[in-house]
Structure 1
Amino acid sequence: MCRDYLQPALLIFASIAIGVVGWSGHVLLLPVALGFPVLWSIARTRSVAALISAGYFLAASRGLPQGVAAFYSSDIWPGLLLWLCASLSFVAVHTVLWAGAARARPFRYLLAAVVMAIPPFGITGWAHPVTAAGVLFPGWGWWGLGLMTAGLAGLVTRIWPAVAVAFAGVWLWSAAICTDPKLPEGWRGVDLQLGASLGREAGLQRQRDMIATVGNAASDGARYVVLPESALGFWTPTVERLWIGAFSDGDARVIAGAAMVAPGGYDNVLVAIDRKGGRILYRERMPVPGSMWQPWRSWFGENGGAQADFFANPVVAIGASRAAPLICYEQLIVWPILQSMLHDPDFVVAVGNGWWTEGTSIVAIQRAATTAWAKLFAKPFVLSFNT
């Protein structure tokens, strides 16, 4: 009787530990997440598989309650509620697709992995183990993703110890030769520490401070300067004229986050500015569910919230190059980066506004995930965050 309870308890505690360590924000620790499918397959009952899934996901996304409380300036309870609700899709998918029969497990797990990578369930598909492909197979691109997929299937079979040993060997080899992707030539990502005021304080002095920041980066030789999500506040004709005038005598180009009012709500965008003018470069495909993307408003005839363009503009043209843009939340899920890579961009541009994540590992996880995907496809990348 004691053994009947001991094994499930150990599996659940192990899943929690894997979620904490694998998603700690250190890119080289991402392969720890590959322990989850092993535990999921070892579960003897569907209920234990559900608890293992819940332990892993809740541990991996542990920064959400505190972050939501900071975002809304509220107590911890709304964050806890959102944390639990966000876990439902992950737990439901892995519970429904769990199989007692060993033969069915590889197909069932791969189906769960695909379902959690694309909408609608992929909207909350955080902590996806496939993200570790960039650590294990840097530069292998789609072949590396294929090997990782085959390895995930192997981890839920009876030969999982052999697969795990093979992955461990590849992991050690990769760690020994690890190098981070380089910046695109002539690019500079600027990190800011302006807290909650970024995007909310849109006065003239703030715009001038941003212009000065870009000027300093350009004076060091950067031709393209990237500012974080929401750096410009709302994108208006007045803001556009101010920025164009500031760079009328130079060759620097600015890529910066902004918000643009749209019918029924607003778009979270990246804006490109040079001496010739400004233009909307990119509209975010997947804003943060709940705090930004609120599709239920339309059900009640209300407006507001950020709009989602799920599969729009996967790559954008910047000069003679093509970039894969990722804004904040898009760095935590799978399909935006893979959709962009289908178009073979020259590099990745990732921005975020993580002031509300202070005291959590969320921004570090975003950076680690972006680094891993860039390493997998051997793409240079530029990051810019506000904290």
Structure 2
Amino acid sequence: MRRDHFRPALLVIASIGAGAIGWNGHVVLLPVALVFPVLWSRARTRSVAALVSAGYFLMASRGLPQGVAAFYATDLWPGLALWLCASVSFVTVHAVLWTKRSGVRQFRYLLAAALTALPPFGITGWAHPITAAGVLFPGWGWWGLVAATAGLMGLITRMWPAVALAFLGFWFWSAANWTDPKLPEGWQGVDLEVGASLGRDASIQRHRDLIATVKNIGSERISSVVLPESSLGFLTPTVERLWVEALQGTEISVVAGAATIDAEAYDNVLVLLSADGGRLLYRERMPVPGSMWQPWRLWLGTSGSARANFFANPVATVGDRQVAPLICYEQLVVWPVLQSMLHDPDLILAVGNGWWTKGTSIVAIQRAIAVAWAKLFARPLVLSFNT
């Protein structure tokens, strides 16, 4: 009786630990997240399965309340509310699909994993254990994804100790031989530390400072320079002309974050600028729910929401390269990168504007996820963040 009394508490505590360790921003620790499906399968009631799911998800996303408070310059209560609301889809899916029937439990988990990787549940499908595939099976590509998925199902069966030992073997081998993804030849990402002013300071001086930074980096060896999300603020003909004129006489191409606006909504975008002119490169598929993507505004006929382009433009062309772009929030969920990899891009481009995450591990987690996917598919990676 005492063992049965303490078992649920131990499962929840272990799930909290898995969320804390697996999602702390160190890429080689991502496989710790694989403890979650084991704990979920060991629950003996649906309510305990829900608590295990909540403990894992809430700890993995623990930086959200503080980040939201910083973004809106408020106390923690709005962030706490959003944190709890965001956990609802993850917890609901795993609670509803939990079953006592051991013979079908692994298939139920497979369905839960698929649902939390794809919209609509996948819109808040953070901390997905499948991300660990990039650490366990670097360079395996889609076969690595299949192997990780099969292993996740195996962790739900009675053979889970053997599957766990196999995962440990792959993990230790990978960690012992770990190298970060390479930069693509001729590319360089720029990390900035200008805080909340990026994208909000529209002064000529700010643009001149960014142009000087780009020119200092550009050389015969570096021809493509990447700036973080929101670097240019709102994209206007004046801003575009300023940059195009400044790049005259150079061979530099600049990929930079910006925003375009119309009467209904705005798009979070990447633009390509060079001496030959400027063009829209990419529209963000999944902006941050709540703070950026506010679909109720469109439903009510009001403006102010970022537009979610969901499955549009999975790849973009820069010169002779096919690029898989991921802006900020898209790095935390699963389907954008997998959709992009279906098109066999030459490199992954991950940018963000994480000034509001100061004091949290959110940007480190974003970087770790981007590195994991780049390692899984053996693609060069360009990172560019503002903090």
> What TM-score comes out, normalization by structure 2 length?
0.99
Deviation at 1:34, TM superposition (A): 0.1
In structure 2, distance between residues paired with 1:289 and 1:191 = 25
Report the residue type matching 2:305 in the other structure.
Answer: G
| d(CA) in 2 for partners of 1:222, 1:243 | 18
Partner of 2:77: 77
- Give the equivalent residue in structure 2 for 1:149: 149
Q: CA deviation at 1:2?
A: 2.9
The CA deviation at 1:297 is 1.0
- Aligned-residue Cα RMSD (Å) equals 0.7
- Deviation per CA, 1:2-38, whole angstroms, max 9, x where unpaired? 3222000000000000000000000000000000000
Partner of 1:293, secondary structure, is coil
- 2-side partners of 1:166 and 1:3: how far apart? 29
Alpha-carbon offset, residue 250 of structure 1: 0.5
Q: Which amino acid aligns with 2:203?
A: G
Q: Following the alignment from structure 1 to structure 2, what is the Cα–Cα distance between the partners of residues 289 and 250?
A: 39
Shift of 1:304: 1.1
Name the SS of the counterpart of 1:181 in structure 2.
Answer: coil
Question: C-alpha deviations, 1:131-161, integer Å up to 9, x for none?
Answer: 0000000000000000000000000011101
Q: Which residue of 2 aligns with 1:29?
A: 29
More off after superposition, 296-305 vs 223-232: 296-305
The question of whether the paired residues in 1 share the 8 Å contact of 2:298 and 2:305 is answered with no
Structure 1: runs of 5 or more not aligned: none
Match of 1:385 in 2: 385
TM superposition shift of 1:219:
3.8
| Paired position in structure 2 for 1:95 | 95
| 1:301 CA displacement | 2.0
Q: Which residue of 1 aligns with 2:64?
A: 64
SS of equivalent residue, structure 1 residue 382 = strand
Counterpart-to-counterpart distance in 2, 1:31 and 1:220? 40
For residues 134 and 3 of structure 1, what CA distance do their matches in structure 2 show? 37
* Contact kept in structure 1, 2:34 and 2:129, CA below 8 Å: yes
Q: Distance in 2 between matches of 1:75 and 1:321?
A: 45
Shift of 1:220: 7.3
Q: Aligned runs of 1:253-272 on 2, under 5 Å?
A: 253-272=253-272
Alignment deviations for residues 34-82 of structure 1 (CA, whole Å, 9 cap, x no partner): 0000000000000000000000000000000000000000000000000
Which letter maps to 2:98?
Answer: W
What TM-score does the superposition give when structure 1 sets the normalisation length?
0.99
> Helix, strand or coil for the counterpart of 1:174?
helix
What's the counterpart of residue 203 of structure 1? 203
- Give the Cα separation in 2 of the matches to 1:191 and 1:351: 9
SS in 2 for 1:260: strand
Hey, what does 1:328 align to over in structure 2?
A: 328
How many residues were matched structurally?
387
Work out the percentage of aligned pairs sharing the same amino acid.
71
Pairwise mapping of residues 1-387 of structure 1 onto structure 2 (< 5 A)?
A: 1-219=1-219, 221-387=221-387
